A and B are shown apart, each in its own frame.
Chain A
Amino acid sequence: MKLNIEGLLVYFPYDYIYPEQYSYMLELKRTLDAKGHGVLEMPSGTGKTISLLSLIIAYQRAFPLEVTKLIYCSRTVPEIEKVIEELRKLMEFYSKETGESNNFLALALSSRKNLCIHPEILHANIVVYSYHYLLDPKIADLVSKELAKKSVVVFDEAHNIDNVCIDSMSVNITRRTLDRCQNNVDTLQNTIHKIKETDAAKLREEYRRLVEGLKEANVARETDIYLANPVLPDEILQEAVPGTIRTAEHFVGFLRRFLEYLKSRLRVQHVVQESAPQFLKDIFDKVCIDRKPLRFCAERLQSLLRTLEIADIADFSAVTLISNFATLVSTYSQGFTIIIEPFEDRTPTIANPVLHFSCMDPSIAIKPVFQRFQSVIITSGTLSPLDIYPRILDFRPVTMASFTMTLARTCLCPLIVGRGNDQVALSSKFETREDFAVIRNYGNLLLEMSAIVPDGIVAFFTSYVYMENIVASWYEQGILENIQRNKLIFIETQDAAETSMALEKYQEACENGRGAILLSVARGKVSEGIDFVHHFGRAVIMFGVPYVYTQSRILKARLEYLRDQFQIRENDFLTFDAMRHAAQCVGRAIRGKTDYGLMIFADKRYARADKRGKLPRWIQEHINDGSLNLTVDEAVQLAKHFLRQMAQPFRQEDQLGLSLLTLEQLQSEEMLQKITQIAHQT
């Protein structure tokens, strides 16, 4: 159908539209008009992708000078493929409606096997690829730096974007890394020797270039051709590479010295935590390495690798990592911390020293993106509370909106189970974690649910360790045996192959009527990437609140930083982080309007307003007083009732006019009024 969105003609390739899609497009258009950034939350399964694509492409066609390119970033390869599929549909619709063959070029960069860095990317109207291509400085340099300023950048499924940013800027160095780095340096040295004998002129040419400084890069940045690389700060470009590392041999010697220093640092017996300036002082005292050459390390190495004409850069990943670390540590005095741990917490007897150079400020990595592109849209099914994202990513959005799901029948049923049948409070909090009564009641909950929920149930625990303990305890108490009468049990493990096997068998058991339970872990592979549509997930049970492991030093450092820099209280951030993961987990079950599922939060802490209030609005509005702090029995009664209601025949006609609209229905005055209420501005 053809829609008129505040004067913009939008081609929408379906005959029906959800009211919230219309509302979403409206907000999106306003964001583009204002040339600003936006944060939009809309539940999964309500057609976010197609709304985004149709509107932005229509906008591109209407104002070709305002918006030249759409950069669509998604998380995983299957998601990228889904986007491409929708895009194809839209394009077919365009050529059918307008009669002209489309001159739009879309490009998807998904997996390595179809990776292409052909210059054509510059002319494509739509680019679809993974986050990392834009955020990770190592890859962004290769792929994204030439994208035009007047692009619209969309981050889909962006609820974890801060962690992606942090990961892309953090460096972990182990003994293995250093050994490989040592080999790299040896290879470099040999190559330099060889080249010196055959083609000394080449090295001289490089030297000359370095004396002149990195002028070219500077010119490029000023003329705004490239996306800024956060690893390479502006100041460096103004200066020439310092003399100490200008010749190739000197640089290699410098690297060796740096490497030896790192090795010595890893020989610690106790945990060390220090800031970047402390680290710099220490390195100067011990091995007389100045801050300045360190800052040029990354650029110097790139130049050397280019000069030596080394084809396979992947072999030199270790030395690249170290040199990036050198540049980062000497560039940013704030936002990073260095933690050296001699062993892992779980295995204090096995020496496995790690140097964590961890980024605590996600805004560092994403800053160039916000600065460069005129509109950046951050969207996901779970972005609540909306206001925290602009704070931790340090940007100022022009629109922030949360959309609900209009439903012809209430197809989600969130229940907060706070007590067992014996009135024991259910909670995964640390003090009661080992409590026998809590574990038994959790087992009882799963057992009762396995008897009344058809087909598939997915249960999430807060961590692998917790899951292992509970399952072992259930086994001893004979609960597992009872559950297995109703359903088969599968368990997610840390091994990817094992997990995908378990998933496959789980789906088979759901398919042929035996029924199955998948026990998995919040923040695991299952909770993030895998959808449990229809019968694959009729209920999701969240055992406990999935707080991140708070004893980790990296996290502690980050919390401290957030408190000092952004005035976000530790507790607020932890709760926010736990709730977004809980929402992700329970959101796995509802993937559309015809789908239905139970969402069971088994922890009494969910009933508190500070937790509940951080759930996405489309879940929150279905939690009423009657579904708080239930006992297992009460939850079973409610669930039974819900499942029977949902099993009644449900046809498309029942949705029409309520949650599914034709063009005529959309244009009615009353409906437009309703639509304006869907978007919840914050």
Chain B
Amino acid sequence: MDEEPERAKRWEGGYERTWEVLKEDESGSLKATVEEILFQSKRKRVIESHEQVRLGMMRHLYVVIDCSRSMEDQDLKPNRLTSTLKLMEAFVDEYFDQNPISQVCLHRNPKKHIAALKKAVDTVCVGEPSLYNSLNQALQSLKHMPGHTSREILIILSSLTTCDPANIYELIKTLKSLKVRVSVIGLSAEVRVCTVLTRETGGLYHVILDESHFKELLMMHVKPPPASSSSECSLIRMGFPQHTVAALTDQDAKPSFSMSHLDSSSGPGLSLGGYFCPQCHAKYTELPVECKVCGLTLVSAPHLARSFHHLFPLQAFVESPLEELQGDRYCQACQGELKDKSIFTCTSCHSVFCVECDVFIHDTLHCCPCCIHSQVTPL
């Protein structure tokens, strides 16, 4: 028997019933209910994050991306791997934007990650993944992290099988005792062992529906998780270096290398200005960073401030049915017409928003634009 040639062209793949997404619901309740449930969970996420909880602001997150054979699958365009990596770039950006003093895979530099991700696009995906091995490897580095930071692993799992060298349930126990929080995003279906893994370690387990849902799920992990009450509290030394640029007129100024470029061959070599560590005066071009010389954490004040909004979140908007709204049916933020069956009202300025803007305001802006506006006008 000849093996059938690998499917290479789009038109050779199985046809997809794209029209079914648009299907009006009359026969079964499936579509409507699932969407209803998703809508509810979207809202729920916003609401949940507004309880006053202690959040772990310094995060150590390991992202494990499955590169097994199943990543070649073309149900995400152009294939699962490329799509995942593209979304991961956005994720890394967003992650550092929202959590400037946290780390992914023990690096602070988002640029490095993005470069690495770009390189990974060409990876050939073969073989079967091992959940055990990847968890174990992540655990080896995470377990040395200080107690006041969160230890998280995010696994993006495409395969439905895992070939493990040992009993994974033992490892789950170890993870639990070391307070490592493991979350999984499944690309194909619900796998039992992941359900157990995430339930035991207190993480989240989600399976994507399509690409936009995938993105949503990824962005969910941008928010810091509630810190467990048992994690230690400690004070951390931080340096706030100022950006100084030697005046061009200063004849003594000499361009110098930044410490962060020591280990990478690429990038700009010499520059005049930079951030200087207040402790040892080592020069860096970017913040936040951990000083290579004295180990001091260097951040700028805005970074810290951005992390802070997690602690003082915006109040949840009140949901009410559209019919009750008097006056113009326009969202105050996007100026679009309100079409959904429910609307959202800010508790302090009583402005009305649509669900998309509600999510955007709470996830990204972290402040109500109308409140700000009314504060500014009297000036």
Contact = CB atoms under 8 A, between A and B. Distances in A.
A and B, one complex?
yes
Contacts of A513: 131, 161-162, 164, 168, 191-194
Contact of A408 (B33, B38, B167, B186): B33
A192 to B, nearest CB: 65
A643 B33 contact: no
Contacts of A487: 161
A410 interface: yes
A382 to B, nearest CB: 22
B15 interface: yes
B189 A649 contact: no
A456 to B, nearest CB: 9
Contacts of A649: 37, 41, 206
B268 interface: no
Contacts of A477: 1
Contacts of B169: 512
Nearest to B3: A478
Nearest to B204: A649
Interface in B159-190: 160-164, 167-169, 186, 188-190
B1 A454 contact: no
B209 interface: yes
Interface string A179-198: 00000000000000000000
Interface string B196-219: 000000000011110000000000
Interface string A313-328: 0000000000000000
A410 B16 CA distance: 20
Interface in A460-482: 477-478
A650 B37 contact: yes
A452 B17 CA distance: 17
Contacts of B34: 409, 645, 648
Contacts of B163: 514
Nearest to B37: A654
Contacts of B160: 451-455, 486, 515
Nearest to B75: A640
B30 A514 contact: no
A515 B161 contact: yes
B16 A648 contact: no
A452 B161 contact: no
A636 B189 contact: no
B200 to A, nearest CB: 14
Interface in A410-446: 410, 440
A264 interface: no
B33 A654 contact: yes
B302 interface: no
B70 interface: yes
Identify whether the interface residues of B are mostly helix, strand, loop, or mixed: loop
Nearest to B127: A485
A633 interface: yes
Contact of B38 (A478, A515, A538, A648): A648
Contacts of A535: 190-192
B16 A637 contact: yes
B164 A644 contact: no
Interface in B1-35: 1, 14-17, 20, 27-30, 33-34
Given A534-B192, A637-B14, A649-B37, A512 B209 contact: no
Interface residues of B, number: 40
A535 B192 CA distance: 6
A659 to B, nearest CB: 10
B44 to A, nearest CB: 10
B370 to A, nearest CB: 33
A640 B207 contact: no
Contact of A453 (B167, B186, B189): B189
A452 B189 contact: yes
A624 interface: yes
Contacts of A636: 14
B93 interface: no
B316 to A, nearest CB: 19
Given A454-B160, A644-B207, A633 B189 contact: no
B128 interface: yes
A646 B209 CA distance: 10
Nearest to B192: A535
Contacts of B15: 633-634, 637
A640 B188 contact: yes
Contacts of A624: 27
A478 B70 contact: no
Contacts of A409: 29-30, 33-34
Contact of B14 (A634, A648, A654): A634
Interface in A637-680: 637, 640-641, 643-650, 654
A2 to B, nearest CB: 30
A410 B30 contact: yes
B28 A410 contact: yes
Nearest to B68: A485
B187 to A, nearest CB: 9
A644 B208 contact: yes
B193 A512 contact: yes
B1 A514 contact: no
A180 B34 CA distance: 66
A624 B192 CA distance: 29
Contacts of B75: 640
B190 A647 contact: yes
A97 interface: no
- Most chain A beta carbons < 10 A, residue from B29, B30, B38: B30
A648 B214 CA distance: 12
A610 interface: no
Contacts of A485: 69, 128
A511 interface: yes
Contacts of A534: 192
Interface string B60-71: 000000000110
Interface in B254-303: none
Nearest to A479: B1
Contact of A455 (B29, B191, B207): B191
Interface string B124-164: 00001001000000000000000000000000000011111
Interface in A484-525: 485-487, 510-515
Contacts of A454: 160, 188-192
Interface in A590-630: 624
Contacts of A645: 30, 34, 209
A514 B186 CA distance: 15
Contacts of A538: 189
Nearest to B34: A645
B14 to A, nearest CB: 4
A478 B190 contact: no
Contacts of B69: 485
A649 B199 CA distance: 13
A636 B29 CA distance: 22
Given A410-B28, A486-B161, A511 B189 contact: no
A650 B191 CA distance: 15
Contacts of A514: 161-164
Given A512-B162, A647-B206, A649-B41, 14 more contacts: A409-B34, A478-B1, A487-B161, A511-B192, A513-B168, A513-B193, A513-B194, A514-B164, A633-B14, A634-B14, A637-B16, A646-B189, A647-B207, A649-B206
Interface of B: 1, 14-17, 20, 27-30, 33-34, 37-38, 41, 69-70, 75, 128, 131, 160-164, 167-169, 186, 188-194, 206-209
Interface of A: 408-410, 440, 451-455, 477-478, 485-487, 510-515, 534-535, 538, 624, 633-634, 636-637, 640-641, 643-650, 654
Closest 8 CB pairs of A and B: A513-B193, A647-B207, A535-B192, A647-B190, A643-B189, A633-B14, A454-B189, A513-B162
26 contacts: A408-B33, A410-B29, A451-B70, A454-B189, A454-B190, A454-B191, A455-B192, A478-B1, A485-B69, A487-B161, A512-B162, A512-B168, A513-B161, A513-B193, A514-B162, A514-B164, A535-B191, A624-B27, A633-B14, A640-B75, A640-B189, A643-B188, A644-B189, A645-B30, A645-B209, A648-B37
